[in-house]
Amino acid sequence: MQEVKLVVNYDDYEEGIRMETLLQDLAAKPEAATLESLIIRDWGQAYENSPQEFKDTLIQLAPSFPALKQLFIGDMESEECEVSWIVQTNLAPILQAFPNLTSFVIKGSSGLELEPLQHSKLEELVIICGGLPKKVLHSIASAELPELRKLELYLGVEDYGFDGSIEDVLPLLEKGRFPKLEYLGLKDSEIQDEIAKATADASILEQIQILDFSEGTLSDEGAEALLASEQIKQLKHLNLSYHFMTDEMMERFKQSGMSVDVSDQQESDEDDWRFPMLTE
């Protein structure tokens, strides 16, 4: 697969190089016509500047990338910008500009909006962040994504932008909202136990094959509910990697005969706090 990564590093940005220009240069190359994957990394001091700087350009240039299937906006490491500091914007118009896109990955949630979220071919939506605003959860819950097969959301913590509660997550546990959904990741959450309990008897399990509750604060409380669910046992795979379960609970999962990942056991800190993985 043809893939291009674009980055504006610190020096570049200081010298006036902009993501906009890199996109224009790329669009002018012959390889643009066959490009399948575009990864936009740091667009330059992303803790201050949002993709608004290059959004219109990317939308205008969309016809130059007719083969584009995958788009990643914000693929950067904490060395460049802390994940919770990455400034995003309403990215839905970009998605709409690429009608053939099947995979859309976003990193960073500060200022992120996805409104309106409609796409007839999108199969995969991933949002990696320190805390997902409930506004975005609502946009996803009311989205029209008939082909969506994989939904992976880092819910994060309040300090980094998760301003919702279990109530804002519940709509995603209803069957049929995305008829083709097979992979549901509601992960990296500080309310992982509540999510696990709510999911254990949710109708979404009738269509899901892979459930991803990894990187969060799952403890025995949520794990107990999962183990008690007959529908959870029918899953093709359950990802619980990075968790706060006891050894006994891990053993029970191993004995359950399920395909389950219980690796990366964590210990609560001295004040008995549990933190999701991606909290910087």
Partner 1 sequence: MMLHEKDLLLISNPDNRRTAGIQEARRQMGMKPATVLSYENLLRTWRRGGGLAELVEFISPSPLIRLDAPGEDWEVERGLLHLGATDYDVSDSKVLSDQVPSFKELKACVETDLPSSLQKLKRESFSAEATLTLEQQWGRIYAPAQWFRGWKVCLDRIAQEAREVWPGVQFWNDPDEIGMMFDKRECQLHLMRQGISVPPILPSSEPIQCWEQLRAAMDASRMHRVFIKLACGSAASGVVAYQVNPRTGVEIAVTTVGMETSQGQTLFYNEGKLQKYTHPEEIRTLLDWLCAEGAQIERWMPKAMLDQRVYDIRQLVMAGQAGHAVMRLSRTPITNLHLRNERMLPAEAGLPDPHMSMIQRVARDTMLAFPNSWSAGIDVMLTSGMEPRAYVLDVNPFGDLLYRVRHQELTPYEWEMKLLRKEPVRHA
C-alpha 56/C-alpha 100 separation (Å) is: 18
* Maximum separation of any 2 CA atoms in the chain, in Å: 59
Name the amino acid, one letter, at 128: I
C-alpha 117/C-alpha 160 separation (Å) is: 23
Number of C-beta neighbours around residue 48 at 10 A: 9
Strand bridging mode 37-40 / 70-73: parallel
- Minimal CA–CA distance to 163: which of 133, 205, 137? 133
In the complex, minimum distance from the CB of residue 204 to partner 1, in angstroms, rounded to a whole number: 32
H helix count then E strand count, the chain: 10, 10
- Interaction residues for partner 1, span 229-258 (CB under 8 A): none
Closer CB to partner 1, 25 or 167, in the complex: 25
C-alpha 7/C-alpha 118 separation (Å) is: 28
The yes or no reply on residue 188 touching partner 1 (CB under 8 A) is no
The stretch among 25-33, 39-47, 134-142, 236-244 that binds partner 1 (CB under 8 A) is 39-47
Number of C-beta neighbours around residue 32 at 10 A: 21
- Cβ(58)–Cβ(97) under 8 Å? yes
Closer CB to partner 1, 41 or 119, in the complex: 41
Angle in degrees, CA 120, 122, 127, rounded to 5 = 135
- Interaction residues for partner 1, span 73-92 (CB under 8 A): 77-80, 82, 85, 87
The yes or no reply on residue 186 touching partner 1 (CB under 8 A) is no
Name the token pair of 22.
């890199």
In the complex, minimum distance from the CB of residue 98 to partner 1, in angstroms, rounded to a whole number: 24
In the complex, minimum distance from the CB of residue 280 to partner 1, in angstroms, rounded to a whole number: 7
Closer CB to partner 1, 194 or 215, in the complex: 215
The yes or no reply on residue 275 touching partner 1 (CB under 8 A) is no
Closer CB to partner 1, 54 or 253, in the complex: 54
In the complex, minimum distance from the CB of residue 85 to partner 1, in angstroms, rounded to a whole number: 5
The stretch among 45-53, 58-66, 210-218, 267-275 that binds partner 1 (CB under 8 A) is 45-53
- Residue 6: strand, helix, or coil: strand
Name the token pair of 258.
């399920």
In the complex, minimum distance from the CB of residue 77 to partner 1, in angstroms, rounded to a whole number: 6
The yes or no reply on residue 165 touching partner 1 (CB under 8 A) is no
Options 32, 42, 55, 164; binder of partner 1; rule CB under 8 A: 42
In the complex, minimum distance from the CB of residue 68 to partner 1, in angstroms, rounded to a whole number: 20
Options 7, 26, 59, 141; binder of partner 1; rule CB under 8 A: 7
Question: Rule CB under 8 A: which residues touch partner 1?
Answer: 7-12, 42, 45, 47-48, 77-80, 82, 85, 87, 110, 280
